[in-house]
Amino acid sequence: MTTKPSKITLFGNRFSGHAYKIALFLALNKIPHNYEAINLSQPRGERPEFFRKHARYGEVPLLIVEDKAFVQSNAILLHLSQLFGIMSGGEEKARVNEWLMWEQSRLGSSLPNLRFEKKFKTNSDPAVQAWLKARLLDDLAVLNTHLTSGDGFVVGASPTIADCSLAGYLFWLSDVDLAISDWPHAQAWLNRIENLEGWKHPDKLMTQEKPV
Amino acid sequence: MTTKPSKITLFGNRFSGHAYKIALFLALNKIPHNYEAINLSQPRGERPEFFRKHARYGEVPLLIVEDKAFVQSNAILLHLSQLFGIMSGGEEKARVNEWLMWEQSRLGSSLPNLRFEKKFKTNSDPAVQAWLKARLLDDLAVLNTHLTSGDGFVVGASPTIADCSLAGYLFWLSDVDLAISDWPHAQAWLNRIENLEGWKHPDKLMTQEKPV
């Protein structure tokens, strides 16, 4: 473990599951930090100058550790797990990385994009929604099947950053008119996450100025 | 660097840019390996038993190192770069990870999905293609802008696994009726990759049984 950083600031938004992944990691591990809300309804060019300067892709989450900027939710999780020496999966690190990559391209893409189309976009195209929903149903089936034979969490018997990542948007599954109870192994796993000390629902965690 | 593994086998397909990323890494670094082609037009349940057993998500690339299986192209790149101690980005590892994650959710999703809709799918929906194309144009603009101020490669002055990843599908950009010359900084960067010793176009690299 490296020396613990003295100052961490998370720039997030309460509608972003990608930001929630980081807030969840910090909450579960009781890591003191500041939280700054970014208004995503503001045009990119009008967002705070500090945020625009450091968020390479213009998105939340942005994490500042001391004076260094980190972006991309799953890359931030990787960095934090290495920095603090926790939740990396240890010898199963390669498996954790595989699930982080799968999340980026599948569940962490299909679900937030469908949610955006349904909840936030005007004139969303039904064909696009159908395409995203078909992918999401595939993704939920893959995750549910994997968790059938799991040891409790996505990789092994303890939570890793893969759990923080994959759970990112799932507490909002009702926003796309689906119920996690249709995927009972995934539901049981989400319940295990909810029972971890420090867990909070994204609607609760992301509205606080200082979540810890 | 860990002891070099004596046996590496890549399971790929000549139409998969995700598999090409790994073939490219192995070719650029002159790493001896075997190559096994998987016929993706075969239904998943009929693919070779060994492949079905080890490819968790049923996809190429699958990499076998000694007797261990690794999946998800960018996770494989991460693993190989750590195993051989090369192309990791060194002190800029966090930046490399950010680009790997961005690739998974953006360019490495928009481009292969649009290519699949246009080149391989029957009855592809025009609205879905339009949605994917809009994302792809955003992604190409982001990459091109980033490369304006770069030192030659995506992270720093030497190629890293971020370059192998981001270039994965770009040599096939004409498959979606776009020309890389419209993004001149990205084009210059692709040219630099083409000039690296060992580089081959995916159409050449993936058709050989043993690319090295």
Q: What is the pLDDT of residues A62-92, one digit of tens each?
A: 999 999 999 999 999 999 999 999 999 999 9
B83 or A6, which is more confident?
A: B83
B182 falls in which pLDDT band (50, 70, 90)? very high
Q: Are the Cβ atoms of A146 and B56 closer than 8 angstroms?
A: yes
A77 and A102, same structural domain?
A: no
The minimum CA-CA distance between B102 and chain A, rounded to whole Å, is 7
A116 and A58, same structural domain?
A: no
- Report pLDDT for A19: 98
- Report pLDDT for A206: 84
A177 and A156, same structural domain?
A: yes
A133 and A144, same structural domain?
A: yes
Q: Rounded mean pLDDT of A44-61?
A: 94
In a domain, B13, yes or no: yes
Residue of B70, B104, B148 best to disrupt the A interface, most CBs of A under 10 A: B104
Residues in A touching B131 (Cβ below 8 Å): 125, 128, 131
In a domain, A211, yes or no: no
Q: Are the Cβ atoms of B101 and A74 closer than 8 angstroms?
A: yes
- Closest alpha carbon within chain A to B79: A94
Q: Rounded mean pLDDT of B107-115?
A: 98
In a domain, B3, yes or no: no
Residue of A97, A135, A148, A166 best to disrupt the B interface, most CBs of B under 10 A: A97
A94 and A83, same structural domain?
A: no
- Report pLDDT for A212: 39
pLDDT at B169 over 60: yes
B150 falls in which pLDDT band (50, 70, 90)? low
- Give how many domains chain A has, as a whole number: 2
Cβ pairs bridging A and B (under 8 Å)? 67
A103 and A79, same structural domain?
A: no
The type of residue at B51 is F
A74 and A47, same structural domain?
A: yes
In a domain, A1, yes or no: no
pLDDT at B1 over 80: no
Complex confidence, ipTM = 0.95
As a whole number of angstroms, the distance between CA B102 and CA A105 comes to 9
A95 and A61, same structural domain?
A: no
Residue among A75, A128, A131 whose CB faces B94 most closely: A75
Residues in B touching A146 (Cβ below 8 Å): 56
A129 and A36, same structural domain?
A: no
Q: Using only C-alpha atoms, what is the Rg of chain A?
A: 17
- Quote the percentage of chain B above a pLDDT of 70: 95
In a domain, B40, yes or no: yes
What CATH number does residue B63 fall under? Answer: 3.40.30.10
H/E element, B71: strand B68-71
In a domain, B212, yes or no: no
Q: Which residue, A113, A175, A116, A169, is CA-closest to A143?
A: A169
B125 falls in which pLDDT band (50, 70, 90)? very high
A176-212, pLDDT tens digit by residue?
999 999 999 999 999 999 999 999 999 999 875 444 3
Helices (H), chain A: 17-28, 49-54, 73-84, 93-105, 107-115, 126-148, 161-166, 184-194, 202-205
The parent domain of residue A64 ranges over 8-87+199-205
As a whole number of angstroms, the distance between CA A132 and CA A134 comes to 6
pLDDT averaged over every residue in chain A:
94
Q: Rounded mean pLDDT of A120-143?
A: 97
Q: Rounded mean pLDDT of A30-53?
A: 93
* Contact (CB, 8 A) for A18 and A59: yes
Q: Which two tokens stand for residue A108?
A: 């962490």
A185 and A94, same structural domain?
A: yes
Residues in B touching A100 (Cβ below 8 Å): 75, 101
In a domain, A37, yes or no: yes
Q: Are the Cβ atoms of B102 and A142 closer than 8 angstroms?
A: no
Residue of B97, B110, B145 best to disrupt the A interface, most CBs of A under 10 A: B97
A41 falls in which pLDDT band (50, 70, 90)? confident
What CATH number does residue A165 fall under? Answer: 1.20.1050.10
- For A57, counting Cβ atoms within 10 Å of its Cβ (0-12 exposed, 13-18 middle, 19+ buried), the class is middle
B29-78, pLDDT tens digit by residue?
999 999 999 998 888 889 999 999 999 999 999 999 999 999 999 999 99
In a domain, A2, yes or no: no
B176 and B94, same structural domain?
A: yes
Residue among B70, B79, B101 whose CB faces A104 most closely: B101
B55 and B136, same structural domain?
A: no
Q: Rounded mean pLDDT of A140-169?
A: 94
Q: Rounded mean pLDDT of A121-147?
A: 97
